[in-house]
């Protein structure tokens, strides 16, 4: 239960922060955000204010922002559909009811024959089943539509649609989700440093050696400072660990400083399987040091975020030379990581939150249609061409990208299930 609750909280924070970035900059750009949803599925609660309907939905995983004019936003009106129109004293439509779950007082029953909510702002139809006379109503710029599930959202005239914003504002809005994820990681790492009372760093000095490990058999001792591996200097334990991990069953020459004397010791990392891939281990644990200074604590969020970003980009680069599903992880992998982090307390969970937030930000910026990065790529192409891309072609690219992501998600999820539950 602890893992489930932690997973929901971590996943919820990641999605909320990401979507809030899009929401905030869309509003600042004059783009109508029709709905901001926390959760997915059937609606539990809805509140409408300043053009946006805020909804809470039953499944506590994910969320979304409906921006006017995008491919995932559209009204479900159709010719011949019965609707209820609520008009003001001037006869202008203020609310259009499409739902058979809700009855509106004084609503005029109309069978729709035509409408335009983009520019002309009207709706036509036959009142009370009388097909002898077609009636036209003007629609208020900020009129509400009661959708079939009972959710009230504002109509989206052309002037408040996404495409009507300037190119720069659209680019900022597309980038804002990932930007917020990076900012969340910075804040999370800063909180980690506060909770630890300072910045904990692992040195290249050996703090512990496992019994009967390759390190013990090779003659390494606690207190040895590893200076080089195969004549390559190592300044951090991360660099040392990377060298070891990448060389299973291969001899490595460690240059160590012991009592101010340099020694060369040959160590052969044993081969282990980690997440479906071969990796080397020698059985050492780094000696840690803590910097309690305020400057170190303040800078930790930025330094650690940048460090993780560099590592992720290295992984992405390596994927071009040898792609493997084991390099990717979906919700199942996230759940597994959360389960492990929850065992070690808040610091581990917040560290995981930061790591996942950076991952989410970077993945969303990949130039794949349907992702934020794909949208940004189309924005750049539009800037070069100095004219918008054909909406139909953009829709086709988005559908192709979405199909690719869905197939990849299925493959990754199945691979994760095999890795974490049947290994």
Out of 19, 147, 152, 394, the active site residue is 19
Largest CA distance in the chain: 103
- At residue 177, φ and ψ (nearest 5 deg) are -65, -50
Q: Can you tell me the distance from the alpha carbon of 179 to that of 416, in angstroms, rounded to the nearest whole number?
A: 28
For residue 228, list its beta bridge partners: 233, 255
Q: Can you tell me the distance from the alpha carbon of 232 to that of 255, in angstroms, rounded to the nearest whole number?
A: 9
20's enclosing H/E stretch is helix 2-28
CA distances to 118, 282, 310, 376 from 164, rounded to whole Å, are 11, 59, 36, 16
Query: Is residue 239 annotated as part of the catalytic site, yes or no?
Result: no
Q: Can you tell me the distance from the alpha carbon of 240 to that of 254, in angstroms, rounded to the nearest whole number?
A: 10
Q: Tell me if residue 217 falls in helix, strand or coil.
A: helix
Distance, C-alpha 322 to centroid of its chain: 25
Q: Tell me if residue 216 falls in helix, strand or coil.
A: helix
Q: With CA atoms as reference, report the closest residue to 205 among 224, 219, 218.
A: 224
DSSP state, residue 104: -
For residue 136, list its beta bridge partners: 124
Q: With CA atoms as reference, report the closest residue to 369 among 385, 383, 389.
A: 389
34's enclosing H/E stretch is strand 33-49
Residue 331, both tokens: 């919700």
Residue 413, both tokens: 């999820």
Q: Tell me if residue 247 falls in helix, strand or coil.
A: coil
Residue 66, both tokens: 């409906």
Q: Can you tell me the distance from the alpha carbon of 175 to that of 258, in angstroms, rounded to the nearest whole number?
A: 50
Which residue pairs, CB below 8 angstroms and at least 24 apart, start in 76-80?
76/147, 76/148, 77/112, 77/115, 78/112, 79/112, 79/113, 79/114, 80/111, 80/112, 80/113
**Residues tagged active-site:** 19
């Amino acid at each position: 239960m602890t893992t489930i609750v932690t997973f929901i909280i971590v996943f919820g924070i990641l999605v909320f922060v990401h979507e809030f970035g899009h929401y905030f900059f869309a509003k600042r750009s004059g783009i109508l955000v029709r709905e901001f949803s926390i959760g997915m599925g059937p609606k539990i609660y809805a509140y409408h204010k300043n053009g946006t309907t805020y909804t809470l939905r039953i499944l506590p995983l994910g969320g979304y922002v409906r921006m006017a004019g995008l491919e995932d936003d559209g009204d479900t009106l159709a010719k011949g559909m019965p609707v209820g129109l609520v008009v003001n004293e001037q006869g202008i439509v203020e609310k259009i009811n499409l739902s058979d779950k809700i009855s509106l007082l004084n609503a005029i029953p109309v069978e729709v024959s035509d409408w335009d909510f983009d520019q002309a702002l009207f709706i036509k139809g036959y009142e009370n089943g009388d097909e002898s006379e077609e009636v036209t109503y003007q629609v208020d710029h900020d009129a509400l539509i009661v959708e079939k599930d009972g959710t009230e959202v504002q109509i989206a005239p052309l002037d408040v649609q996404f495409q009507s914003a300037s190119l720069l504002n659209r680019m900022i809005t597309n980038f804002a989700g990932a930007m917020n994820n990076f900012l969340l990681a910075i804040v999370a790492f800063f909180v980690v440093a506060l909770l630890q009372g300072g910045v904990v760093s692992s040195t290249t000095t050996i703090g512990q050696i496992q019994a009967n490990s390759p390190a013990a058999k090779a003659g390494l001792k606690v207190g040895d400072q590893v200076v080089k591996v195969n004549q390559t200097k190592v300044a951090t334990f991360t660099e040392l660990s990377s060298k070891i991990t990448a060389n299973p069953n291969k001899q490595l020459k460690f240059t160590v400083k012991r009592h101010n004397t340099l020694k060369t010791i040959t160590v052969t990392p044993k081969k282990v399987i980690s997440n479906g891939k071969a990796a080397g281990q020698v059985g050492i644990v780094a000696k840690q040091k803590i910097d309690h200074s305020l400057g170190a604590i303040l800078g930790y969020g930025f330094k650690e975020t940048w460090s993780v970003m560099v590592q992720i980009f290295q992984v992405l680069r390596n994927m071009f030379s040898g792609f493997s599903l084991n390099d990717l992880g979906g919700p199942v992998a996230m759940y597994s990581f959360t389960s492990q982090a929850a065992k070690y307390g808040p610091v581990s969970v917040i560290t995981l939150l930061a790591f996942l937030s950076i991952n989410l930000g970077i993945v969303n910026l990949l130039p794949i249609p349907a992702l934020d990065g794909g949208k940004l790529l189309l924005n750049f192409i539009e800037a070069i061409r100095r004219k918008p891309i054909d909406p139909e072609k953009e829709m086709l690219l988005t559908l192709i990208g979405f199909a690719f992501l869905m197939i990849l998600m299925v493959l990754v999820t199945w691979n994760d299930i095999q890795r974490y539950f049947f290994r």
